[in-house]
Each structure stands twice: as structure tokens, then as C-alpha cells.
Amino acid sequence: MPTSVLHGCDLVDGTGATRRRDVDIVIDGDTIREVVPSRPARSYERVDRIVDATGVLAIPGLINNHTHGTAYGPLFPSGHEGLPHEQVRANLDRHLLEGTTTVLCVDGFVTADAIAEVNNDHPISITLASCNTPACLTAASIADGGGLDDQNRTFTARQAVDAGAVALGEIGAGHTLGGGGASYMYIPAEVLKRTGVTISARQADALKVAVLGRHISATSYDEGAVEEALETANLTGKLSAEEVRELVSGIVLPAFDIALEGLTEAARYADQAGVPVLVHNAAASMSQVAAIARTDVRLIAGHSNHSSFDHREALRHAEQLKELGAVVDVSTLDTFGAQRLTRGPDLLYAMLEAGLVDTISTDYAGGFHDSILLAVDHATKAGVVGLESAIAMATANVADAIPGLAPRRGRVVPGAIADLVLTDPTDLTRVDTVFIGGAPVVRDGASVVN
């Protein structure tokens, strides 16, 4: 087995321990053999490669527990038409260059065969979560279902777990529970079809909230707010308030109650199968999520910084979930970049500063997600979380939350799989080198895998 030494780096090892300065990481084959204070390179005998890592920060390969578009097959828990294979590989390339070495695909109707195929095509470890329970399948078929074939429909959650799925999820989604998916996909598409006008995700979201409120209820209709949203979207005279009410309600409500039922149903399935359940946590689903947290199932409350929450509500809800033993996940979404629906990092920062966050993921944000390291870099520089804690939220904490997702990964310790990232300590987004199983897959910020 080839032996490599990462020589003279600083190390944040994923455990939450204080950063270590000037260490050597010795790798035998795919495994970390030892982590020791740096010694002269000439003292290493029978070493195949010594990598000068002076001034570089080493961290574990990131483990991302909430990704979409990272496997071949239907997109989202709404069973939307799948992405072309080349786009899936491009999405995985992007995650890899951002320092991610393991992803959980929560496009929950993907089959085991499709996961195996994409794992053959890409060095990232891609693992499956399933949402194929009866209620979730019904909700997907009502909301969309355009990418579901017979194999997707019949590959049940129980079969998926038997075939290696490590969680049930994402249960519920913005596409079936009136969240971001409705705002950046279905509502703009229907408005364009009826009026010829292209509206933004934020404009669509304003129409949706005016009709159904943040918690999604037909009783929340506010005609004045609808008129205001129509004017902002340059739709005055093209759609009436009543037409908007019909349009939005017709997109969101048919699948909504069934999707809510799917949360409870999937939690029951997950408990029986002995795997965690990752749920869509937002203003519209928070009551059901809290109820699930009171059961014995291992609950991961996805994107608990969802833009539908107001800040006080999100913090109280996260506190309650933590008290009940749930894993509180936050997602980068497009918080620092496009901000098509998010409104900046304030809620993310508040949750980190309050100590309410267990794991950090990206989600999808319509393909505009920010990288985990970008969020960690901004948050640590803002002083709302320590670097060591933040790295643990993207590595060891995720491995611990979902057993089977990343065995022997997420920590830079002897005996662990050598998934490692070397990056610039002054700008964590400047990823230089990525190792998966001891093999370099990124060098000088570029992929070296065909």
C-alpha cells in the first residue's frame, strides 16, 4: 500500500478539539495511520509521497446530509423529471471542489441501481435516502411526478433500506408542502403560461404568502397583500387577485395535507427500520415535526433556518427540538449568493450563536446553493461560532447523526478513512487538495479525476 505524508499542516480534526499547529498526517493506503507533531521530512523512510502542506489547513472531507441532483433519477421528493446525467456529474464535481467527499442524496424516489451507477461514475461517496412511502408517493404524484417510472414507484422505502439506504428523507419538500420549490418552480411556470410574464422566485413567494400565509392555510388569504404582490411583480391587469388565489391554491393545496401525513407515516417507517428520518422543517410543517420529535425515531430537522420562519419562531422551535433530542440541521441554501428566497445570514448566524445547530448541509436552492465552507468561513469571521465547532457540524456530527452514511469518516484520527481537504485558513473556500480514501481527487483547486 502506498504511504503518503501531509507534512507541516495545521489541523482541525472534526472532533471539535482545538486546532493543532504544524502536524504531519501519515496515510497508509486509504487509512490514516497517525497524526504527529511535524518532524523533518528526511526522517520518513519508505514513504511514497510527501506533500508539503506548510501554511495549509487540513480538515476532514465534508459530509453533506441534504443534497438534490446528485443521483440519476427523479429530482426532489415531488418526483420531478430527473436531470441529465452530465448535469448530475457536474453537480457532484461542484460539491467535490467545495471539499465534500460524501453526500446523502435525498431525492427520495431514486433507486439503488441508480445510486450504484452514479457511484461508478464519480469519486464522491453517494448514499441514498428514500421517501417512497404510500403518502409521500401520493403527494409526489399529485404535485408533479413527472420523473417517476414504474421502477421508481415500486421501489419502496422498506426495499430501499434493505438495499442500503441509510435514512428516510427528504420527507416533505418545498414542492409538496408549499415551500421554496413551489416559489421557484411551479408558481413562476404557471404565471408565465397564463400571462407571458417571467417573475422571480421572490415575487412568486410573495404571491404565495399573500394567498396562503407562511404556514399554508386557505384562511390566510389577504386580498390587499395579493394586490400589492401583483403590482411588485408587474402583473397588475394581467391577473386578478381571485385568479392568483385560484392559481396558487391549485398548485400548493392538493398535495399539502397528504404530504403532512407523509411526515408521520415516514417517521413510523423509519423507526421500524431502525434508520433516521430527515424531514422538511419549515413554518408549514413545524407542528408535525415537533410531534415526530416526541416519538422514539431519530429525527433530523432539515434546513431549520428555512426562510418561511420568522427569527423568533425558528429559535423557539429549534430549542424545542433540541430539548426533545432531535438533530437540528441548517442549510446554506443561497444565503450568501443569489438570495432568491433567503434574506441573508441573520437567522443562520442567530442559530449558530445560540448553540442550536448540530449539522450543516447545503440543500439545493434551485441549483444555487452556497458551499458549506463559504458559510463556515463567513460565520467564523462573524464570530458567531468557533471554527472547530463549525467543522464538526459538517463532518463528525453528520457521521454520528446518520450511522451508515460515512463509516470511519468525518474525523482525522488514526484508523479513519483518509478523506481529507487541504484549504486556505484565511479563506476556507479556496480548496486546494481533496483526498478520498487516500487518493488525490482534487489538486490545485481542479479535479484530477477523468
- Report phi then psi at 8, rounded to 5: 80, 25
58-87 pLDDT, tens digit per residue, is: 999 999 999 999 999 999 999 999 999 999
Q: What pLDDT sits at residue 39?
A: 95
Q: What pLDDT sits at residue 450?
A: 66
Strand order in the sheet with 125-130: 62-67, 100-105, 125-130, 167-171, 277-280, 299-302, 327-331, 359-361
Q: How confident is the model at residue 362 (pLDDT cuts 50, 70, 90)?
A: very high
Cβ-based neighbours of 413, under 8 Å, separated by 6 or more: 13, 15, 32, 35
Cell numbers linked to 320: 424545542
Domain ranges of the chain: 3-60+410-447, 62-178+253-401, 180-252
Q: How confident is the model at residue 373 (pLDDT cuts 50, 70, 90)?
A: very high
Q: Using alpha carbons only, how large is the chain's radius of gyration in Å? A: 22
Give the percent of the chain with pLDDT over 90. Answer: 97
Q: What pLDDT sits at residue 45?
A: 86
Contact 102, 225 (CB under 8 A): no
Q: How confident is the model at residue 328 (pLDDT cuts 50, 70, 90)?
A: very high
Same fold, 3-60+410-447 and 62-178+253-401: no
Is a pLDDT exceeding 90 seen at residue 392?
yes
Beta strands in 259-325 (DSSP E): 277-280, 299-302
Sign of CA dihedral 288, 293, 299, 305: positive
Classify 62-178+253-401 by CATH class: alpha beta
140-198 pLDDT, tens digit per residue, is: 999 999 999 999 999 999 999 999 999 999 999 999 999 999 999 999 999 999 999 99
194-220 pLDDT, tens digit per residue, is: 999 999 999 999 999 999 999 999 999
Average pLDDT, stretch 339-362? 96
228-275 pLDDT, tens digit per residue, is: 999 999 999 999 999 999 999 999 999 999 999 999 999 999 999 999
Average pLDDT, stretch 348-356? 98
Q: What pLDDT sits at residue 53?
A: 97
Contact 60, 95 (CB under 8 A): no
Average pLDDT, stretch 434-443? 97
Average pLDDT, stretch 20-49? 95
Average pLDDT, stretch 328-355? 96
Beta strands in 236-377 (DSSP E): 277-280, 299-302, 327-331, 359-361
Q: What pLDDT sits at residue 2?
A: 86
What 8-state DSSP symbol labels residue 185?
I
The Cα–Cα gap between 320 and 330 comes to 15
Average pLDDT, stretch 407-432? 98
The CATH superfamily of 3-60+410-447 is Urease, subunit C, domain 1 (2.30.40.10)
The Cα–Cα gap between 66 and 125 comes to 14
Mean pLDDT of the chain: 97
**Angle at Cα 219 formed by Cα 216 and Cα 221, nearest 5°?**
80
Sign of CA dihedral 281, 287, 289, 290: positive
